[in-house]
Structure 1
Amino acid sequence: MGASLHNGSLTATSSGFWNTTPAAIPAGWIQTHTSLYTTGSMFVQCSSGGIATNNTGELVRANHKYTVSARLGGSSGNTATVKVYATQNADGTGNKVELVQVSRTGNSSDGYTLFMVSNTGASASTTVEGYFVQVVLATDGYYDDIVIYSQPDETLMPACCGDSDHPYPIGDLNFDCYVNWYDLWKFGDQWLAACAGPNWCDGADISHDSDVKFNDFAIFADHWLDCRDPQLPCGYSHP
């Protein structure tokens, strides 16, 4: 899905009931129950149990969190609800697992005003990797501007060199989380060079005093063989 999926704008070319006016059906959507209506303001009204689905064809990614936002409204007694599922098959058939939903309780005093709401679900399980994203208008209410996007769940991402818990050590001029001979070669290439920030002589001017000289070497030597790589053989663990 990349970063985002804009699949639910509910853009139709005409107002009218979906079951009698094909141009009133927004692209990609299917009416699974009757009584869906595209209004003159071009938002969709579900009533009398009208339900619609959009089988997007987008693949579900495991360990991603899915967010749905939409403009919702409706009369008192109704709660407009958008549900996002992972379905086993691209046509929406087979096993189905809910990824996220968002809703808003209707209020007749709001008239036909729609309000933006959003919600983020839990991480998608590895069991739904390769499933397909399905969007559902699940209940009576008013709907428009539905957008679904996903982002990696950083709490499940493996630790890596340079992340917040494994910052590059001082003197690591080639950014591999080790201070070793490769960095010494780079340091030597900049010896006695004059420079300024933000590059600071490719990092060799550790003291940031505009020259690469003995004080920088002293700092470099003090961190010789430091390692913050979370992977073996270093296996650094944040204290």
Structure 2
Amino acid sequence: MRTVLLGLYVQTVQFCRRRGFNREQTSTLLSITKAMHQANTETSLNNMEQCFDYCGELLLCHAVRRPPFSIDLFKLHEVTLILEHLNNTYIRHHALYRYIFTPQDRLDLSLSYCGMPEQDDTPAENPTSPDIEKALGETEPVAEPTQEPTNNQEKPQNTDPVEAAPDSSSAVRQMIQQALMEEVLRVQQSPMETSEQLSSQLTLLQIQPQGKI
């Protein structure tokens, strides 16, 4: 970085010598170049147009005699030569100077949506997770038979609820099946009844005209 800045300042001094500038003009042009470089690299945004306008304002302050605001240190044709020099040297390579002297900014983006549950990044640290509870539930019935009770009377008490559950469920299942069968039979018989009713009505209609005659 220091080498790049040194090369920029050396080019500026060489330009001043070729144009025959005195010490005051050379020092002023070096200060203007330094100020423009600082304005260009103080932000990561593209502000080259603002930097060029800022450089023009500084040159204007040193090209017009209006004390105490400005002084006529450069003439009009010298200002034109300075602008051409800065355009050909610094402004043309402003992207390179920006890349070297501007710190790089990295964007860390995270999105969150409304109505979506937040994901927990540490599910393994929770000792009561669903997987662990499921595993414990599966191992508990296997572990119970290994513990033989000392009293023989405790066995039927523990097994009664287990045995009663299948009986109740089977009874309910039989009741449901019986109700379904009755409903199916009723649906099958209903068309036969309606057909018999229709046939009886037709016979009545056939008999009634004969009675009138």
Q: TM range, normalised to the smaller chain? A: under 0.3
Highest RCO, 1 vs 2 (Cα 8 Å, sep ≥ 6): 1
Structure-2-length-normalised TM-score: 0.21
Normalized per residue, the structure richer in helix is 2
TM-score (normalised: structure 1): 0.19
Greater share of strand: 1
